[in-house]
Amino acid sequence: MSRVEEKILQAGRADNFGAGPTGLPVSVLERIMQEGLSYQDSGMSVMEMSHRSRWYDAIQASAEAGLRTLLDIPDDFSVLFLQGGASLQFSMVPMNFLAEGKTAGYVTTGSFAKKAFSEAKRIGNAKVVASSEDRQFTTLPELDGAMLDPDLAYVHFTSNNTIYGTQWKDWPNGIRVPVVADMSSDILSRPIDFSRFDLIYAGAQKNLGIAGLTVVIVKRAFVLEHAISGLPSMLSYKVHLENDSRYNTPPVFSVYVLSLLLDWVKSLGGLDAMTARNEVKANLLYKTLDQSNGFYQGVASTEARSLMNVTFRLQNPDLEPSFLAAAKEAGFVGIGGHRSVGGCRVSLYNAVELEQVQRISKFMEEFRAQHTQMA
Ligand SMILES: *Cc1c(COP(=O)(O)O)cnc(C)c1O
């Protein structure tokens, strides 16, 4: 057993498959603890320092540089470190870009996508341009980008549907209007083709660290040329852009955790290595479902399956409570489905290790063996 494995065992750390917030890499937690009393030569922890100190200057610069390198963000995009979660972006996007007399298009592929749509309707005109609600969000809708009304203020997508477990693989072609995407639950899990987007946003607590921080990556010209002026300062992308995300106090500690997390991704080999690792993890779990003779049934249709959130049900729903209880007993945390849909969900964000997926997969096979004999 390695020194790290020993420490994990000693600390009694659970296998955390929560959908968000979720686990952090152990090496990141160790760094946080090491630097907990004094960060470098500052004489204080990051929690205690000024957001205008030279130490925080370097932390924010490192977080931005890390995102730019790993995601290969083009120079004409700005990175903003905001608060209010992805949920505030549901409002900020239409406040900034949905002008009077215009309509915004929403692709509703799950609960968060619907929330984004309903917040937009509070601000202005918004319509659904494609939806998979008629198929209970188990798949993704067909959408020909060229068919979209070219007069839309923007079209809004959700790249990964955290609750239903579906994920866009390819983006619709031929879209001629600005594209906005909520990438809260799969940012940094795979490359992003920035030529297809004008603004993306993500709450940090799934793949970028801890709650309190929302990362917005936006094409500068989209803001400078199209954003509505006269908004309350805190709700204006332009204000945050002009103030280097420090119009007010940013979530200093969350940005620090992001910077450590990005260093960790780099140390594993960057985004390509992360993508490969995520594919191996998800394939193992989907194989466990698919080779269970129907005992476990995937919720999402095969072609839309998410690499981040694996949703499934037990063929015999009466067994679900005992399955979830046994999983909890075995040290697996966070695998109940979202309270709105039930069932089971194992989230495999970046920080989840392959060994953890192997453990839950083995547990699932054993549970099936026990309960098939009884049937
Ligand atoms: C978790 C999640 C949200 C909500 O994020 P908050 O930061 O809690 O507001 C929005 N969209 C998606 C896709 C999510 O997974």
Spatial strand order of the sheet with 344-347 comes to 296-298, 309-314, 344-347
For residue 136, give Cα distances in angstroms to 109, 111, 317. Answer: 9, 10, 18
Is the link from the previous residue into 21 a cis peptide, with omega within 30 of 0? yes
DSSP 233: G
Quickly list H helices, the chain: 3-11, 26-34, 54-71, 85-97, 111-123, 220-226, 237-242, 252-267, 270-290, 320-329, 354-374
Query: 77: Cβ–Cβ under 8 A, 6 or more apart, which residues?
Result: 194, 217, 218, 219, 220
Phi, psi of 261 (to 5 degrees): -65, -40
Phi, psi of 193 (to 5 degrees): -90, 95
Q: Is 239 exposed, middle or buried (0-12, 13-18, 19+ CB in 10 A)?
A: middle
User: Around 117, how many Cα atoms within 13 Å sit in the side-chain half-sphere?
Assistant: 19
- Under 8 Å between Cβ of 170 and 196: no
Task: Give the pLDDT of residue 375.
Answer: 52
Centroid of ligand 1 to alpha carbon of 113 (angstroms): 10
Centroid of ligand 1 to alpha carbon of 215 (angstroms): 12
- Reading the block at residue 310, the tokens are 């694996």
Provide the pairing of β-strand 296-298 with 309-314. antiparallel
Task: Give the pLDDT of residue 374.
Answer: 57
Considering the four listed CATH numbers 3.30.365.10, 3.40.640.10, 3.90.1150.10, 3.40.50.300, the one that applies to the domain covering 30-266 is 3.40.640.10
Task: Give the pLDDT of residue 89.
Answer: 98
Tally Cβ neighbours within 10 Å of residue 57.
14
Query: Chain-centre distance of CA 176, in angstroms?
Result: 26
CA distance 312 to 134: 19
The SS3 call for residue 284 is helix
Q: Is 249 marked within a binding site?
A: yes
Ligand 1 pocket test, candidate residues 83, 184, 308, most atoms within 8 A of CB:
184
Task: Give the pLDDT of residue 7.
Answer: 74
Tally Cβ neighbours within 10 Å of residue 8.
15
Alpha carbon nearest to ligand 1 atom 14, residue: 184
Q: Which residues line the pocket of ligand 1, CB cutoff 6 A?
A: 20, 85-87, 112, 158, 162, 182, 184-185, 203
pTM above 0.85, yes or no: yes
Q: Where are the domains of the chain?
A: 3-24+269-374, 30-266
Fold of 3-24+269-374: Aspartate Aminotransferase, domain 1 (3.90.1150)
Rounded to a whole number of angstroms, the CA Rg of the chain reads 21
pLDDT averaged per 10 residues in sequence order, the chain, 375 residues: 74 92 95 97 97 98 98 98 98 98 98 98 98 97 94 98 96 94 98 97 98 98 97 98 98 98 97 97 98 96 98 95 96 91 95 97 97 72
Task: Give the pLDDT of residue 4.
Answer: 72
